[in-house]
Structure 1
Amino acid sequence: MLDITSRLRVDVDAWVAAQMDMGVCDAIERNASAGRPAAMSAPQLPKVAGIDPTFPAPAHTSAAAHPMPDVSPPPGAVIQDRLAGWVSDLTTLHELTERLAATGTLDAALDELLDAGAALVGARRGMVVLEPPRDPAHDSVHAGAPGTAPAPRARGLGLARADLGHIETVPRDVTDLGAMLRDRHPGSPAPAPVARPDLLAGDLHPLHREVAVRLGFAATYTCPLARDGSGTLGAAVWMYDEPAEPVERQTHLVGLYMRYATEHLARLLELEHARATVATVAGELLPPRLPRVPGVGLAVRHRTGERGGGDFYDALPLPEGALGLAVGSVSGSGPSALAAMGRFRASLRAYAVMEGEDPVAVLSDLELLLRLTEPARTATALFAYAEPAARRIVLAGAGHTPPLVIGERRTEFAETSLSAPLGMLSCWEAPSAELTVEPGETVLLYTDGLLRRTGEAMDRAFAKLHSAAAGVPRSARSDPSAVAGHVLRTMLPDGLDRTDGAEDVVLLAARFD
């Protein structure tokens, strides 16, 4: 009994002593079964707006009479927050890739890539260089033919042309962007992104440091446009005004975005290469230059559509100082239409040399040839036999638009007979029309692609063409090239370089002295 009592007395005395040393509330809290709330043990927030949250409580403030319960988050709260973050990231990535997919040209796609990348990594400026890899076995662009490698393309975000020029003075091998483009042959692994959180603190090439100080960027993040096994297509670098570095979440998102951008840019490169090939073939099938014939000046504007059409033009010197003028269009698009256009134009030249003074006979022979050799194809054509000395023109048209006469006193469409296109009737024949022009007047021959590219109804397009021709400045009417250029700019403000134009355009101007 005494031993037990002694043990109890010792324990009670120790507990009372603890009360005296620590205080009653502190002793209860220290020995309570409930632990300290997690919020009280969390690190304190930094000082905000002059308020220091770490300032100690006054001495007279007593602790709570009852301990705070341990509040824990719901079982699925952490998972829900993480899923919400993933959904937000996927939504952002989907929106950015949708905007990129809507671009139809390389320049527009590169601009969109720079904007999206800057938003993802938190930068203000950037630069992208697109340089397709070469196939060492063929010494050509990986997706193209020998000798058709496009020049490297550089675009900037928040950088003027002079700024891009300064950046290009830095040797490419000393930059991260240049290192990514160095080994870019098909089969080489895709390079990893490179972050320089404090660019000026590192060992930089003197020119690189000078350009960085001049342009005012202190950190960079460089990301490749690459596919495993297909080589590096290009690279993009984003620039920070202050030392900075994207966090892991940002680098993951921009990496996914760049993978998609690489595929999209590769498709645009192939499409641009195909368009360039079609334009080259079409140019080779048309006259390389216009002839010089006394008494008449010639000018032409021509552009093949994105799919390659069959519009053509020709100006052919004929015996006794005469001149044959022709415009037309073969049905269809693509390589087959281009080949048919070449055959059609070659036949027209042959018939024009033999019987050019009779335009009806020329078109009749063409119709017979077309019906016998290519019965499934049709064509429109207009052939004019011109005598520059007499300023006399005899013309015949087969389903083609009438020429337009532009002069000081008149701007009017020439009267021609109505007829069906070649290949649509069992036997084509229509009467010819004769036209006499005044000194200084210009005869404008064109294809319907000029009218269709306006997007207007045909009657409105004809009215627009007449208005454009009538509005040619007097100072420009003595130059057929200036006349054609003014009409074209008025009809198509976006110009012939508009990539979504599916129609071919031919505009042939002949000014008579």
Structure 2
Amino acid sequence: MLAATTRIAHELHELPELPELPELQEQHEQQLDDTPILQIMEGAPHGILIASAVQGGTALYANAKLGDIFGTRVSTGPGELYAASTAIFDRNGEPLAFEDSPLGITLRTRRPASAELQYRIPGEPVRWMDITTTPLDCPRRGPVAVAYIHDISSRRHAALELDEANRRLGQQLDDLTWVHRLTEELTEDASLEDTLERVLAEGAQLLHAEFGVARVLDEQGQMRTRAVHGVPPGKPEMHQALQEIGPQHLLVADILSEGGSTIIEDVLNHPSIGQELRDLARSTGFRALYALALPGAGGKPVAAVAWAFAQAGRPTSRQRQLTETYCRFAGQIAENNHLYEREHAIASTLQQSMLAPRLPDVPGLQIAACSLPGAQGMQAGGDWYDVVAFDDGTAGLALGDVMGKGLGAAAAMGQMRTALRSYALVEGQDPAAVLTDLNALTVDMSLTDMATVLYAHIDPAARRAVLASAGHCPPLLVDGEGARFLRAGQGVPLGVVDDWSAEQEAVELAPGSLLILYTDGLVERRGEELGVGLERLRQSALAAPTEVGELCAWLMHDCLDEGVGPDDVAILAVRLR
């Protein structure tokens, strides 16, 4: 290339003085055609252009290959090279002035230059050019330069396609990561409302929606609103209005049955929208709607979610695809939460029905009891209590905790409570014997793998209590000497061994003594040693109201975070008059 450039400059230098244009151009072309070097340039595999600075930019010579590259013959008219530069753009696609192009720079500065450029003609594919320019040493001709032009369109288009493929792949990976992260977060939600609220919030962020509402199919097949998103504080009327956005308004009853979706781009002008929904859109400030079914594991819809937009329009295909993928996973989680919710309601009802509806009156004793289902988690536990009044004026107090959750635990709790009451009526003054019989039944009938039970027989006349425990929390005794935990004849939990036994403990009770039985939900907290919770209960009992009827509420509030806990709690308290 360097040798060819030197030869071109030499032959241009040997040409006679050129007349004024246009005669200069015609004569110059004829003389160049006669030079041997041009025969070589005509056979070059790349485009070659010789240009001067006359009238801003004039082509003196262009080989045939250059015409093939541009798809047209390069004009050698005076200044036409400069005029044609409007089709030149830099590699970023921005317009490029001729003087800033490699050829313009070389003509202006007499220095070599190179760049990748785009050649754009309306209605034609973009052509990519790799251009290198070199100045020619022709003092009598003024600034002259030669440009070597390679068509790299196919290479650039292939690179752009690869970049686009990589971009799409990266976006897909980002989308999958997004869905995976959000799905994992959904599994942390303990209730159906929590799940639906998270789906609405994440969907609104992805779709750029202002409002959202989620509805769930109840046992009667009716859609009930369970979550609303995007209502500003202090707008209860708007909250109520958004609750009315349901499938009957969104025309998706058929689509919901198929687990699909629907889009209403303009609620105010949609031909099938009723006046009720139009009025709702005006009052709450939305214009477009996008609704989806949340399918369960079998594909049957368990809920519907809808997002409302302030402006008319529709989500992009990527937004819809992401949202629908997310909702497929969310539907299965919502279905599980819904099933757990139903089981929790059944188990809670069963559990409460098996507790003593009212405590018996025992002369000389004040007795109070309460139970609190766990605020976290979806299933009821097996905490229970019972009081048996004997004909001789004594009483038997029992409190237990069956391992596990749900219907199984509630059923086992009911069986154990019934059995203990029967054993207590036979040998209630011997707590160890009662628990021994209960363990034999538990093992024989496989009621549960493990249960803790505390049973106490109290004689108010003798001011005496006898206690036995099967792995249960130690009872707390509060009297004139303070508050202390009793060893209570500890044995292993029921259901663990075939032959259960424990040494029961007798305790003398002073007048006014308070005995508190409780389950572990009252004293256990995650990440905290049990001793801390026991001491918290002891201090709380010392400061508790004297009236036993107020004691349970006091302990619940004082020992639990804001009066609620992650596990079920049962308390049974008795005060000697």
- What's the counterpart of residue 417 of structure 1? 489
CA–CA distance in 1 between the matches of 2:279 and 2:336? 37
- What's the counterpart of residue 83 of structure 1? 166
1:26 is displaced (CA, Å) by 11
Flag the 1:26–1:184 CA change in 2: closer, same or farther, 3 A: same
- What's the counterpart of residue 246 of structure 1? 315
1:370 is displaced (CA, Å) by 5.1
Match of 2:538 among 456, 466, 486: 466
Q: Which amino acid aligns with 1:270?
A: L
CA–CA distance in 2 between the matches of 1:419 and 1:454? 25
Q: Show CA shifts across 1:395-440 (max 9, x none).
A: 333433222235687333245334444564746252331342544x
1:314 is displaced (CA, Å) by 0.9
Flag the 1:492–1:205 CA change in 2: closer, same or farther, 3 A: same
Q: Which amino acid aligns with 1:104?
A: D
1:336 is displaced (CA, Å) by 5.5
Structure 2 counterparts to residues 58-97 of structure 1, below 5 A: 70-71=127-128, 72=153, 73-97=156-180
Match of 1:273 among 339, 342, 345: 342
3-state SS of paired residue (1:104): coil
Q: Show CA shifts across 1:20-39 (max 9, x none).
A: xxx9969999x955259999
Say if 2:417 is the partner of 1:348.
no
Flag the 1:312–1:382 CA change in 2: closer, same or farther, 3 A: same
Flag the 1:405–1:199 CA change in 2: closer, same or farther, 3 A: same
Match of 1:319 among 387, 391, 395: 391
Q: Show CA shifts across 1:434-490 (max 9, x none).
A: 342544x64321123433444422323322322333354xxx44253x432332344
Structure 2 counterparts to residues 112-191 of structure 1, below 5 A: 112-123=198-209, 125-132=210-217, 152-160=225-233, 162=236, 163-168=238-243, 170=244, 172=246, 175-176=249-250, 179-180=251-252, 182-183=253-254, 188-191=257-260
Flag the 1:402–1:201 CA change in 2: closer, same or farther, 3 A: same
1:108 is displaced (CA, Å) by 2.5
Flag the 1:437–1:301 CA change in 2: closer, same or farther, 3 A: farther
- What's the counterpart of residue 555 of structure 2? 487
Q: Are 2:402 and 2:413, in contact at CA under 8 Å, matched by a contact in 1?
A: yes
1:335 is displaced (CA, Å) by 5.7
Match of 1:110 among 173, 178, 196: 196
Match of 1:505 among 569, 573, 576: 569
1:311 is displaced (CA, Å) by 3.8
Flag the 1:417–1:255 CA change in 2: closer, same or farther, 3 A: closer
Q: Show CA shifts across 1:144-200 (max 9, x none).
A: xxxxx99652232345571221233x5857621xx33x4588xx323432132x434
1:343 is displaced (CA, Å) by 3.1
- What's the counterpart of residue 373 of structure 2? 303
CA–CA distance in 2 between the matches of 1:461 and 1:157? 40
CA–CA distance in 1 between the matches of 2:86 and 2:516? 85
CA–CA distance in 2 between the matches of 1:82 and 1:274? 49
Q: Show CA shifts across 1:44-74 (max 9, x none).
A: x9xxxxxxx99xx9xxx99x87997631334
Structure 2 counterparts to residues 372-387 of structure 1, below 5 A: 379-387=451-459
Q: Show CA shifts across 1:265-310 (max 9, x none).
A: 2232233334444434433443344445565241211437766655
CA–CA distance in 1 between the matches of 2:171 and 2:351? 49
CA–CA distance in 2 between the matches of 1:235 and 1:38? 59
Match of 1:402 among 474, 477, 483: 474
Q: Are 1:190 and 1:229, in contact at CA under 8 Å, matched by a contact in 2?
A: no
Flag the 1:213–1:244 CA change in 2: closer, same or farther, 3 A: same
Q: Show CA shifts across 1:313-340 (max 9, x none).
A: 2122322444321012455666665544
CA–CA distance in 2 between the matches of 1:428 and 1:408? 32
Q: Are 2:341 and 2:379, in contact at CA under 8 Å, matched by a contact in 1?
A: no
Structure 2 counterparts to residues 205-216 of structure 1, below 5 A: 205-216=274-285
Higher RCO (CA < 8 A, seq sep 6+): 1
Q: Which amino acid aligns with 1:385?
A: H
3-state SS of paired residue (1:315): strand
Flag the 1:370–1:235 CA change in 2: closer, same or farther, 3 A: closer
Flag the 1:171–1:343 CA change in 2: closer, same or farther, 3 A: closer
Q: Are 1:128 and 1:156, in contact at CA under 8 Å, matched by a contact in 2?
A: yes
1:394 is displaced (CA, Å) by 3.6
CA–CA distance in 1 between the matches of 2:418 and 2:291? 54
Flag the 1:207–1:319 CA change in 2: closer, same or farther, 3 A: same
CA–CA distance in 1 between the matches of 2:574 and 2:85? 90
- What's the counterpart of residue 5 of structure 1? none
Q: Which amino acid aligns with 2:333?
A: H
Structure showing the higher strand proportion among its residues: 2
Q: Show CA shifts across 1:120-155 (max 9, x none).
A: 2122x2223231376xxxxx67xxxxxxx9965223
TM-score (norm 2): 0.64
1:349 is displaced (CA, Å) by 0.6
3-state SS of paired residue (2:554): helix
- What's the counterpart of residue 137 of structure 1? none
3-state SS of paired residue (1:508): strand
Q: Are 1:417 and 1:430, in contact at CA under 8 Å, matched by a contact in 2?
A: yes
Flag the 1:307–1:190 CA change in 2: closer, same or farther, 3 A: closer
CA–CA distance in 2 between the matches of 1:368 and 1:150? 49
Match of 1:221 among 278, 290, 300: 290
Flag the 1:257–1:443 CA change in 2: closer, same or farther, 3 A: same
CA–CA distance in 2 between the matches of 1:492 and 1:429? 31
Q: Which amino acid aligns with 1:190?
A: G
3-state SS of paired residue (2:474): coil
Q: Mark the structure with the bigger radius of gyration.
A: 2
Q: Which amino acid aligns with 2:555?
A: V
3-state SS of paired residue (1:506): strand
Q: Are 2:467 and 2:504, in contact at CA under 8 Å, matched by a contact in 1?
A: no
Match of 1:432 among 493, 500, 505: 505
Moved more, 285-294 or 99-108: 285-294
Q: Are 2:359 and 2:387, in contact at CA under 8 Å, matched by a contact in 1?
A: yes
Q: Are 1:414 and 1:435, in contact at CA under 8 Å, matched by a contact in 2?
A: no
CA–CA distance in 1 between the matches of 2:268 and 2:491? 75
Percent of residue pairs bearing the same amino acid type? 27
Q: Are 2:228 and 2:242, in contact at CA under 8 Å, matched by a contact in 1?
A: no
3-state SS of paired residue (1:319): coil
